[in-house]
């Protein structure tokens, strides 16, 4: 995020209701048919929705006004992100979807002048898409210091060879930000890898397949690709930041990214919660008695409301602290929200499905889409177990523990 994000706080309530209206009137009526796919069919309509968002000055809420955005701070954007999360197409329409938003933030902070002009600008304008390639099938992604992808210096070029998977949105992306080992001899294993911008029309890049996930092949924005780099030559100017800085940059990228994901998940929770309550009061069991009369259903509604409310307070509090102190200072909080909100998300979607009965697992509602697409929330950007362990170790340190 730009330090010059300066949207006036007193105008925020009006702005938030503009986003609410847009989502309610323009996105909720169409999103179920969009996610039934193919997603490619939606692209012309996506462009016209983006034009509407531009004309209403709502496009790219996370970007500064100089970059064509709304100029929201991290905390302000978090509130918008929850609203957009209520529709699975919300973030795409406003060009603030992962992984593009993370790549925008990264290039804004660490990109060179040329990288900004050539890649960041069209990305911000929604003219191109991007992806982020770190995880490899051969190594545990939970501990990404182990990477086989290498970038070897050859004159004015890096030669990249490697195999990645789960590269979200690689299908149709203009460029990838690739984590590759450039300094294998570095003393610290955290200083061996670098981030390199690879245009995906570079000879030697291959998209092997869009990995089918939970019965869906995935395509375009919704793809998670297996990809390969073989003798892929890119100019040394495509290095982002300094050599060996890859992990430091990855941490910078992931901090705000986890706030964005958590607030999007809270948006999903609110919509699933609404569907659950609607169904509970309208589905009749017998003699005019609705499902809502049952205490188990009431428990689910109460527990869901408490979980959603706690999640929102925790995430906004973390965002506030991150805005003041930077990502490093709030590592415990980031780990806390990552596993806590992912758990609330899973539970709320699951309860909403259960209340819908058989209907809940059909594709006649959005619940099954979210059940498939959001299961990954407990895995990507650090599995639950890694965050819980990191949090506990950090707490135990103050008790004199040196658990590693």
Ligand X SMILES: Cc1cc2nc3c(=O)[nH]c(=O)nc-3n(C[C@H](O)[C@H](O)[C@H](O)COP(=O)(O)OP(=O)(O)OC[C@H]3O[C@@H](n4cnc5c(N)ncnc54)[C@H](O)[C@@H]3O)c2cc1C
Tell me if 340 sits within 8 A of 313, measured CB to CB: no
Kindly tell me which of 15 and 198 has the beta carbon lying closer to ligand X.
Answer: 198
Residue 3 has φ and ψ, to the nearest 5°, of: -70, -20
* Between 5 and 238, CB nearer to ligand X: 238
Q: The tokens 């149709």 sit on which residue?
A: 172
Closest approach of Cβ 390 to ligand X, in Å? 8
Q: How far is the CB of 4 from ligand X (least distance, A)?
A: 28
CB nearer ligand X, residue 141 or residue 162 = 141
Query: How many H helices and E strands in the chain?
Result: 13, 10
Angle between helices 246-282 and 295-325 (to 10 degrees): 150
With respect to ligand X, which residue has the nearer C-beta, 212 or 357? 212
Integer Cα distance of 162 and 197 in angstroms: 14
Residues constituting the chain? 404
**Residue 293 token pair:** 């009369």
Residue 311 in tokens:
């999640």
Nearest to ligand X of 224, 271 (CB atom) = 224
Q: Quote the least distance from Cβ 131 to ligand X, whole Å.
A: 6
- In sequence order, which ranges of 23-94 are alpha helices (DSSP H)? 31-35, 43-55, 74-85, 90-93
What is the smallest separation between the CB atom of 261 and ligand X, expressed in angstroms?
10
Nearest to 172 by CA among 210, 117, 145: 210
Determine the residue with CB nearest ligand X: 141
Bridge pairing between strands 224-235 and 157-168:
antiparallel
Quick one: 12 or 150, whose CB is closer to ligand X? Answer: 150
Nearest to 226 by CA among 277, 279, 171: 171
Give the tokens for residue 364. 């006649």
Report the residue number, 183 or 389, with the smaller CB distance to ligand X. 389
Can you tell me the distance from the alpha carbon of 136 to that of 319, in angstroms, rounded to the nearest whole number? 30
**Are 261 and 381 a contacting pair, CB within 8 Å?**
yes
Cα 215 to Cα 25: distance, rounded to the nearest angstrom: 31
- CB 170 → ligand X: shortest distance, Å? 8
For residue 350, count other CB atoms closer than 10 A to its CB.
15
Q: Which is nearer to ligand X, 133 or 334 (CB)?
A: 133
Residue 287 CB, nearest approach to ligand X (Å): 45
By beta-carbon proximity to ligand X, the closer residue of 70 and 337 is 337
Distance CA 161, CA 386 (A): 28
Q: At what angle do helices 100-110 and 246-282 cross, to 10 degrees?
A: 150
- Min separation Cβ 194 and ligand X, Å: 15
| Least distance between ligand X and beta carbon 291 (Å) | 32
Angle (CA) 92 96 99, round 5°: 90
CB of 24 to ligand X, least distance (A): 27
Interacting residue ranges for ligand X, rule: CB under 6 A: 99, 132-135, 140-142, 166-168, 224, 376, 379-380, 383, 385-386, 389
State the minimum distance, in angstroms, from the CB of residue 64 to ligand X. 25
Q: Which is nearer to ligand X, 76 or 223 (CB)?
A: 223
């Amino acid at each position: 995020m730009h330090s010059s994000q300066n949207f006036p706080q007193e105008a925020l309530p009006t702005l938030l209701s503009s986003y609410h209206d847009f989502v309610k009137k323009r996105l909720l009526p169409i999103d179920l048919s969009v996610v039934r796919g193919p997603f490619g069919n939606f692209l012309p309509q996506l462009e016209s929705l983006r034009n509407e968002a531009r004309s209403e000055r709502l496009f790219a809420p996370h970007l500064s006004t100089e970059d064509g955005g709304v100029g929201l701070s991290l905390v302000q954007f978090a509130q918008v992100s929850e609203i957009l999360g209520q529709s699975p197409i919300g973030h795409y329409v406003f060009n603030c979807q992962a992984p593009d938003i993370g790549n925008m933030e990264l290039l804004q902070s660490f990109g060179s002048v040329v990288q900004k002009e050539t890649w960041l600008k069209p990305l911000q304008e929604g003219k191109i898409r991007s992806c982020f390639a770190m995880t490899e099938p051969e190594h545990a992604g939970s501990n990404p210091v182990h990477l086989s992808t290498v970038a070897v210096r050859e004159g004015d070029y890096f030669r990249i060879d490697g195999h990645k998977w789960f590269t979200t949105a690689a299908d149709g992306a203009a460029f990838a930000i690739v984590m590759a080992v450039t300094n294998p001899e570095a003393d610290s294993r955290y200083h061996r890898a670098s981030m390199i911008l690879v245009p995906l029309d570079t000879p030697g890049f291959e998209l092997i397949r869009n990995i089918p996930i939970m019965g869906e092949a995935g395509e375009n924005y919704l793809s998670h690709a297996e990809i390969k780099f073989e003798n892929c030559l890119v100019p040394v100017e495509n290095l982002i930041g300094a050599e060996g800085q890859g992990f430091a940059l990855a941490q910078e990228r992931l901090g705000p990214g986890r706030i964005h994901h958590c607030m999007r998940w809270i948006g999903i929770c609110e919509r699933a919660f609404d569907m659950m309550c609607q169904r509970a009061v309208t589905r009749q069991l017998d003699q005019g008695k609705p499902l809502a009369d049952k205490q188990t259903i009431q428990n689910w509604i109460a527990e869901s409301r408490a979980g959603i409310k706690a999640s929102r307070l925790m995430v906004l509090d973390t965002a506030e602290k991150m805005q003041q102190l930077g990502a490093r200072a709030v590592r415990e909080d980031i780990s806390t929200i990552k596993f806590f909100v992912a758990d609330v998300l899973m539970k709320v979607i699951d309860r909403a499905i259960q209340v819908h009965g058989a209907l809940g697992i059909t594709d006649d509602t959005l619940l099954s889409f979210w059940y498939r697409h959001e299961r990954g929330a407990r895995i990507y950007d650090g599995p639950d177990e890694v965050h819980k362990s990191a949090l506990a170790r950090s707490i135990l340190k103050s008790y004199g523990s040196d658990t590693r």
